[in-house]
Structure 1
Amino acid sequence: MSQEAWGRWGADDERGALNHIGAEQVRRATALVRTGEAVSLAQPLSPRTPVPKHRAGIQHFMGRDGGDYAAGARRPGGFQFAEDTVVMPLHIGTHIDALCHAWCDDCLYNGFPGQGTRSTSGALRCGIDKMPPIVTRGVLLDLVRLHGGPLGRRASIGRGDLIQAAEAASLTIESGDAVLIRTGWQESLPPVADVSFDEEPGIDVEAALWLAEAGVAMVGADNFAIEAIPFPAGTVFPVHQRLIRDFGIPLLEGLVLQPLAAHDRGQFLFVASPLPLVGGTGSPLAPVAVV
């Protein structure tokens, strides 16, 4: 398997394609703001947030609440407060994959050894703590608008589909872009926690390579895994392998894109910052599009 981005930014690089974002890309992105409205692209998080069966859901505990005061807790000077604790997987709801999240042939992005990711230490290389804040031009490739509705549950989005969506929005994909792909999967989910993650529309490998070769900084979508599921015969997460492992491109999954699409803006200021969890394989995220 080829490793197109390995060594491009040095043998010790752990930021991958986010290196495409520099001061010029940030300035260009801020110039796109017209109305100044900030549009949230994140799912709400609660114990009802759907997760695949191999992951635990959110556990939310109150450490101090109104019940404590009703039971007689002291309130010096009349002061009262509440606080809580959340236990949850890092890959839930709207989240970003670190470059240590997926690998093959015992090698992470840039050739770092896969055995460096352990339960006792987390990821020694390419953890989410190595990912900087992301401020760049966001572009929306709206396949729902292109096809007149949400895509079929197993639809595979090819290179030609992305090109058509870009042309429909009068966009040219450029180096440093955060490309967001609207499939309609997220907005068409039933309002229940028991959601199937065994099939979804998503991009194929050729579409992924087209984005990578354009120099995008990251790829996001309104689905579970960016790529089409089920996978092509004889493959397992082939888009994850090519984008994360070979090109160092982080994936932003579980986006909410319908409100952004309603603004009819193909390009915008995109802002997101993962939690700097040392050795983490990903992070919940609350990305924002500023139009």
Structure 2
Amino acid sequence: MSESNWGRWGPDDERGTLNLLAPEAVRAAVACVREGRTLSLSLPIRGATSSPAPATVPHLRGRPLPQHFMSVDAGDYAAGARPIGAGLRMADDAIVVTPHGTTTHMDALCHMWAGDELYNGHPAGRVRSYGATRCGIDKAGPVVGRGVLFDVPRLRGVRHLAAGDRVPAADLAACGAEIRSGDIAVVRTGWPLTWEDSPEAYWAGQPGLSAGAGRWLADRDVAMVACDNAAIGGLNERQLADEDLGDDLHLILLWRHGIHLAEMLWLEDLAATGRTEFLFVAAPLVIEGGTASPINPLAIL
């Protein structure tokens, strides 16, 4: 497999390996559905402007938390909000979310790069404060394909991996899941379970894929990599990656291979089913020039 997917789908490509999810791949993925049961793989977006609710959901320390508040509610009615019609009232709300590090989300190909070029050689100067005019999340489109679960804690016989764990390619291979070109690789570390112990436990670092595991997945031509940790790769206690640029997972997957990433999934319900193959469905919001979007990934069994 090439060290890069630049030029593989032409000089104007902004979707990377999502190009692999052609109609025939989607039709083949539907064959994974045997029960018709659907599971959400998303953490909740829980927030308010005047309560500690966001702190009850895993997130990286210091990141702006989701803000969700009612813009029209009973208090507004008491202040004289107009009724819609005879006997009818309306509630409305507003939400502010910074996806990276605070909720289940999908990274765009413009999220990270090295030098002066984005994925596929697009100029990095196209990423500005008003958004990215190249490789934004609005270019990704819906993701529908065969999901494959790599349950590393189950392989090792532990509840969750340790903060310092960097999953080698050998562990992914040992999970026994058959991986094919165009699959969505879903990797469980179990790390969200540490939030039940305390935020400090969650913030002590995070397990993740090693650079070798990232290359192993890229060599198998996956369409997307999704994980229940916050960065696909591991993080130290300062919530930073220790790898150098050559081994950085975001650069290996997003930048070199055009593989979109989905982070901070909730995989415990899926893991409990014992299923390793399923139909994976996710759709990012069409945020023009966005570096990411909240998603609610689904596993259809």
Instruction: Say whether the fold is shared (TM-score over 0.5).
Output: yes
Deviation sequence 1:157-206 (CA, Å, 0-9, x none): 011011001x2xxx321011001001111122236566754611111111
Aligned to 1:20: 20
Summarize the alignment of residues 131-280 of structure 1 with structure 2, pairs less than 5 Å apart.
Answer: 131-149=140-158, 150-165=160-175, 167=176, 171-190=177-196, 196-197=202-203, 199-230=205-236, 231-232=241-242, 234-235=244-245, 238-280=248-290
CA distance in 1, matches of 2:247, 2:110: 14
Q: Which moved more, 1:230-239 or 1:241-250?
A: 230-239
Q: CA deviation at 1:59?
A: 1.6
* Secondary structure of 1:229's aligned partner: coil
In the alignment, structure 1 residue 130 sits paired with structure 2 residue 139: yes
The answer to which of 125-134 and 194-203 deviates more is: 194-203
Query: Contact 1:90–1:281 (CA<8 Å) still a contact in 2?
Result: no
Amino acid aligned to 1:81:
M
Unmatched runs of 5 consecutive residues or more in structure 2:
48-53
1:89 partner amino acid? T
Q: Per-residue deviation at 1:229?
A: 2.0
* CA apart distance, 1:74: 3.3
Cα distance in 1 between the residues matched to 2:40 and 2:185: 16
- Match of residue 108 from structure 2: 98
- After TM superposition, give the deviation of residue 156 of structure 1 in Å: 0.8
- Asked whether 1:67 is paired with 2:80, we answer no
User: In structure 2, what is the Cα distance between the partners aligned to 1:224 and 1:198?
Assistant: 13
RMSD across aligned C-alpha pairs, in angstroms?
1.8
**1:186 is paired with a residue of what secondary structure?**
helix
Distance 1:198 1:4, change over 3 A: farther
State the SS of the aligned residue for 1:78. coil
Structure 1 counterpart SS, 2:147: strand
SS of alignment partner, residue 149 of structure 2: strand
Q: Deviations over 1:246-283 (max 9, x none)?
A: 00001110010010011111100000000000000000
Q: Which runs of 5+ in 1 are unaligned?
A: none
Identical aligned pairs, as a percentage? 45
SS in 2 for 1:262: helix
TM value normalised by structure 2 = 0.90
Contact 1:15–1:131 (CA under 8 A) maintained in structure 2: yes
Distance in 2, Cα, partners of 1:235 & 1:198:
23
Query: Are 2:107 and 2:262, in contact at CA under 8 Å, matched by a contact in 1?
Result: yes
**Worse-matched range after superposition: 61-70 or 135-144:** 61-70
* Residue 54 of structure 2 corresponds to residue 84 of structure 1: no
Task: Choose from 56, 64, 87 the match for 1:56.
Answer: 64
In 1, Cα distance between equivalents of 2:88 and 2:243: 62
Partner residue of 2:51? none
CA deviation string 1:6-54 (max 9, x = no partner): 0000000000010111111111111111111100000011131343345
- Between 1:264-273 and 1:87-96, the stretch displaced more is 87-96
Letter of the 2:29 partner, please give it: A
Contact 1:138-1:268 at 8 Å conserved across structures: yes
Is 2:119–2:254's contact at 8 Å kept on the other side of the alignment? yes
Give CA deviations for 1:130-162 in whole Å, capped at 9, x if unaligned: 001011000000001101111111101011011
Task: Report if the CA contact (8 A) 2:109-2:137 is conserved.
Answer: yes
| Aligned mates of 1:46, 1:260 — CA distance in 2 | 21
Structure 1 contact 212–247 (Cα < 8 Å) conserved: yes
Aligned residues: 285
CA distance in 1, matches of 2:243, 2:112: 19
Q: For residue 234 of structure 1, report the CA deviation from its aligned partner.
A: 4.0
TM-score (ref. length: structure 1): 0.93
Label 1:206 to 1:54 Cα distance change in 2 as closer, same or farther (>3 A): same
Q: Give the residue type in structure 2 aligned to 1:7.
A: G
Native 8 Å contact 2:211 2:247 kept in 1: no
Moved more, 171-180 or 245-254: 171-180
